Every structure is written in C-alpha cells, then in structure tokens.
Amino acid sequence: MKLRLALVVLAIGLASVSCSTKSKDSAGSNRVSESELARPGPGRSWQDYTAPSRNGYSDRVFFAYDRFDLDEGAQATIRAWSEWLRAHGDASILVEGHADERGTREYNLGLGAKRATAIRDMLIALGVNAGRIRTISYGKERPAVAGDDESAYQQNRRGVARPSTGGA
C-alpha cells in the first residue's frame, strides 16, 4: 500500500515535470521549474473546470433535432465530466435533458429524459458509479436561450451536468 502510494506520488511528480510550461534557461540547465498542472483534481471546481475559456470543456452537450444520440464532441465533453467525477469522489451529478420548443410538450419531456439517460449511460460506461448520477427532464420548459430561430433551438437541445457534493 505504501509502495503504491509512493508510486502515485512519483507519477504525479513526473507528470508535472513533463507538463511544465516554464523553464528558466538563464538560471542554468540543471534547474527544475515548476508550474500547476491543469487537471480535474481535488480543489478544481466544476465551474472552473467547465469554463469554456479555460480548456474547452463545457457543462453542456448538444443534440440534433428529435435525436438523443451523442456525437463526438458530446462524447469528449462527457469523458471530461467522468474524469472530474473520478477526481471528486464525494461529488454526485445531476444531468438535465432539455429540448427545443419545436416538439409537443409531453413528447419533449420524454425526449429530454432520453437525452439525459444517454449521457448517464455513457458516464456509467466510463466507470462512474450509477448511484452518483441523477437525471431529470425539463422537456422544453427551461430554454437556455430565448428566441424563435434555429440558432436558439440548437442551444436549447442540450444536456447539462450540475454537480453537487453529497449523495445523489
């Protein structure tokens, strides 16, 4: 156990070295520089992690009209969520499924549920414990963007992850 812990510490140390972005040549070639590693580790908040300006991750994925399948961009985002969840073992996640307003109200509740479930299933496939994931469908009731045009519809056909600490 102690050995394993040591190895992990060593591995993190090595990763930090390999990811160092600053090196001060002027101080001599033997000098080891240090910098923070962008990682989904403890202390890195969900808001920070999913801020698009930081690393391109997002708290949401988008769907095609009347579809609930996950395209490659959505899958990459969900993979990033699973990594954050791995690093935050005490966190659980609420996955919201949303639809645009171009469907009937009740069907869209069903569609939102399918979208949230598709995300949940992928997180489980990536190793996240099912007990840490809750889903909810809002159908077309909680648009992200106001507007009666395709660009608004696109942004409203979405799945959104909201973490919370404590049990799901």
Cα 81 to Cα 61: distance, rounded to the nearest angstrom: 11
If the CB atoms of residues 45 and 104 are measured against another protein, the closer one turns out to be 104
Query: Does 159 engage in binding with another protein (CB under 8 A)?
Result: no
Residues 38-67 that bind another protein (CB under 8 A): 66
User: Should residue 163 be labelled a site residue for another protein when binding is judged by CB under 8 A?
Assistant: no
User: Helices in the chain by DSSP H: which ranges?
Assistant: 2-18, 46-49, 52-55, 72-87, 105-125, 150-156
Q: How many of the other CB atoms lie within 10 Å of CB of 147? A: 12
Binding range to another protein, per CB under 8 A, among 2-10, 38-46, 78-86, 141-149: 141-149
- Of 102-131, binders to another protein (CB under 8 A) are 102-107, 109-111, 113-114, 116-118, 120-121
Give Cβ neighbours of residue 73 (< 8 Å, ≥ 6 apart).
61, 62
Tokens of 103: 């469907």
Chain residues that interact with another protein, rule: CB under 8 A: 66, 94, 101-107, 109-111, 113-114, 116-118, 120-121, 134-138, 141-146, 148
